[in-house]
A and B are shown apart, each in its own frame.
Chain A
Amino acid sequence: MAELKVTAIREGTVIDHIPAGKGLKVIEILRLNRPNGGVLLLASNVHSGKLGRKDIVKIEGRFLSEEEVNKIALIAPTATVNIVRDYRVAEKFKVEIPDKITGILRCANPNCVSNHEYTVSKFYVVSREPLKVRCHYCERTMEEEEILGNL
């Protein structure tokens, strides 16, 4: 296997096993494309034994909140998160789609009260594969494409 053409980071987070092509979306929803002083590395279309091809995102000097990990789960359910300290993986876990998604997703129904009044959005996961969620307020079901468009 060819050596990865990205450097290791001293401290931060490596998001691995992102389905190929979704790395940029991960960067976008975590708002990593804004300058924050640390190095951001994206490796796209990398060979993977598990996925065939995968993307990897490395973020220097930044650790993810639970909410951010949940966001990743929605668009890249195969992803693993590695916490790196002093060039070593200190912690490693797979992302998991939670049963309830709070505050990170907008309802795609323009007539849903959550798009008009002050509320914290809330969705229940109806199915993980394919991903389907139901809005707590308007009860409408959203599928993957709508979910991605409303993160």
Chain B
Amino acid sequence: MDWKGRDVISVRDFSKEDIEFVLKVAERLETELNEKGSLDYAKGKILATLFFEPSTRTRLSFESAMHRLGGSVIGFSSASSTSVKKGESLADTIKTVEQYSDVIVIRHSMEGAARLAAEVADIPVINAGDGSNQHPTQTLLDLYTIKRAFGRIDGLTIGLLGDLKYGRTVHSLAEALAFYDVELYLISPELLRMPKHIVEELRERGVRVHETTDLEGTIPELDVLYVTRIQRERFPDEQEYLKVKGSYQVNCAVLKRAKESLRIMHPLPRVDEIHPEVDRTEHALYFRQVFSGVPVRMALLGLTLGVL
């Protein structure tokens, strides 16, 4: 499978074979990393991380992945320190940065920004989140985490909980899960339901989808509960946010009704939607999920650079 020069913009651009291939390469790299500590596949290559919007774990995870591949990193973590502040267009920023690097990772507050960057750049562009649209590398690491935990994705019942309206991680994940034989429970306040077009598309693709507001009634059914933060910063109206703030909290009392094998995931950061007491239970998978970001992003960087 030739990934050299390929852009990673949206889960929509992937086939199931693409996803399985990346997960397999990530697994191989994780094993190599455990054996050798660090690798040198990307020696001499430079990654540019363009984070126009704040991020801690995605940016650090990409940087860590590139360093562990033996490459180096340049970039910025806020638009305020760049020429964008002087009025430079996104296209011009990309055309400039590609002169200094071999691969670009971009996070931007506008939906479609990564697609535009990929059209402008001749080097591969990886989307690290564009507004409330897509976050494909998060999706791949989520799938990787599920596969490592259960040995499979097919046959699982998965609940997506929280902000399903603005949450790009759950949009991408739901679309990717449609490649598998899964049953999906979409659990959210009425105001934060999954966009209609995504639900329709999932159903058209044969996924058994249930929409509900009832976490406690649904939790006994689930193998995976994917929790998301209600993102204050995405609400156009603060009053709307206050109506749904703190709608759900996953704690040990709620988990009494869950299967012993239930695993809880969260793209992090969390606020109050998972009580810290859950961290000590076997259910907590979210820190392992954070670790998965490194091998998966190593795989994507190495493949798009053509060094793997």
Contact = CB atoms under 8 A, between A and B. Distances in A.
Interface in B218-240: none
A138 B131 contact: yes
B36 interface: no
B91 A141 contact: no
B110 interface: yes
Interface stretch (B16-24, B112-120, B176-184, B266-274): B112-120
Contact of B10 (A112, A117, A139): A139
A117 B134 contact: no
Contact of A113 (B12, B116, B134): B116
A139 B112 contact: yes
Interface string A109-151: 1011110111100000000000010011111110000000000
A113 B89 contact: no
B111 A113 contact: yes
B48 to A, nearest CB: 19
Contacts of B113: 113
B195 to A, nearest CB: 8
Interface in A96-116: 109, 111-114, 116
Given A112-B111, A135-B112, A140-B111, A117 B90 contact: yes
A116 B89 CA distance: 9
A118 to B, nearest CB: 7
Contact of A109 (B89, B91, B109, B111): B111
Interface residues of A, number: 17
Interface in B109-162: 109-113, 115-116, 130-134
A118 B119 CA distance: 12
B243 interface: no
A139 B89 contact: no
Given A111-B109, A118-B89, 8 more contacts: A111-B110, A111-B111, A113-B112, A117-B91, A136-B115, A138-B111, A138-B112, A139-B112
Contacts of A136: 112, 115
B85 interface: no
A113 B113 CA distance: 6
B134 A139 contact: yes
A141 to B, nearest CB: 4
A112 B109 CA distance: 9
Contacts of A119: 116
Nearest to B134: A139
B133 A116 contact: no
Contact of B115 (A109, A116, A137): A137
A118 B10 contact: no
The 5 A-B pairs of least Cβ separation, nearest first, read: A137-B112, A138-B111, A113-B112, A141-B197, A138-B112
Interface in A70-118: 109, 111-114, 116-118
B90 A113 contact: yes
A111 B109 CA distance: 8
A139 B133 CA distance: 7
Nearest to A141: B197
B149 to A, nearest CB: 29
Given A118-B89, A139-B133, A139-B134, A113 B197 contact: no
